[in-house]
Every structure is written in C-alpha cells, then in structure tokens.
Amino acid sequence: DVATSIMANQAMNYLVSGKVPGLMGNAHPNLAPYAVFDCADGWIILATGNDAQYQRLCAILGLDDMARAPQFLTNADRIANREEMTARITQATLGWSTAELLHACEDQGVPAGPINDLAEVFDDPQVQARGMKIAPGGLPGIRSPMTFSDADLALDRPAPKLGEHQDEVLG
C-alpha cells in the first residue's frame, strides 16, 4: 500500500495518459527543476514548485539569462528542456557548498534540502527532538514514526532476539 501510494505523481501520470513512465532517478516528473544537484562538497535537492521559485533560484545561482530564456520560462518549457536546464544548473551548483546554497535558498524562499548520510541524519536536531534513535535494553534501533492518540509506543524493551519469544523479553 505504502509503496504504491508514494508513487502518486508517476502513478497519476500513468493512469491519466496510459503511458508507462521511464526511469527518472530522483527528479520529479511534473516539476523542474526538482531534483538532486551536485555541490562542491555534496548534494542538495532543489525543489522548485512554481515559476517564481525558479526565477529566485536563477538569481541565487547567477543564471539571469536562464531566468529570461524562452526555453526555460515556464515549468512546461523546463520539463521539455530538462536535460539542458539540469546541466546548466549543475554547472552553477558545483561552485557552492551545500550549506551555503541551502542558506541562500532558505533566505530566498526556494525549497531545498540536504542529502544526508546516516551520521548526518542522526545528528539532525529534528531527528533528535523527535526521539527517532532508541536503545531499548541497550540495543540500538529506530522509533516507529507512527503515533496514536490513545496509545503510547512501548520503547522500553527490545524486539526479541532470533529464537527468543516475546514472552521471554517481557519477563
């Protein structure tokens, strides 16, 4: 259910058109630029959702000519010319550190996010604030993201070890 529902954009494109989409990696099928880009020290996802955000991204990256170019003016134009657009944006993002570009995007209201390794994920203040890393019984684990209004998660005991029954863990 989850795997099918998270394909909403690609699935709806298929259901509406009857055309099976090709592989796109991390790019969005209906928005551009909305993909992972290389920076000088890592990767960032730029997620422009409208023409105004695209214009602001071009200003940040010093791509004023792209902001006015007819082949990139609208989202439909950018999708039609995705390959050239992506190459030009990547050339620009390579001159930035991820932290600097994220900060610039935040300041200008351009949706962006880091691509973290697992050490960075578990060092993230939001992940820590949400208590996602757990260690019941001294065994490391990840808290379920599901919460229920009338039930607390049992985070004080580990899952049974291989060959062990839950009754033995409960004592």
pTM value? 0.78
CA 73-76-79 angle, 5° bins: 100
What share of the chain has pLDDT > 90, as a percent? 66
Chain centroid, CA 104 distance in Å? 18
Q: Is the pLDDT score of 3 beyond 80?
A: yes
Give the residue among 109, 107, 110 at the shortest CA–CA distance from 89. Answer: 110
Mean pLDDT, residues 141-150 taken together: 86
User: What is the per-residue pLDDT for 168?
Assistant: 59
Q: Spell out a b/e string for 86-106, using b for 16 or more CB atoms within 10 Å of the CB, else e.
A: bebbeebbeebebeebbebbe
List pLDDT tens digits, range 152-164.
877 777 777 788 8
CA–CA dist 60, 45 (Å, integer): 15
What residues are annotated to the active site? 28
Residue 159 β-bridge partners: none
Mean pLDDT, residues 78-106 taken together: 98
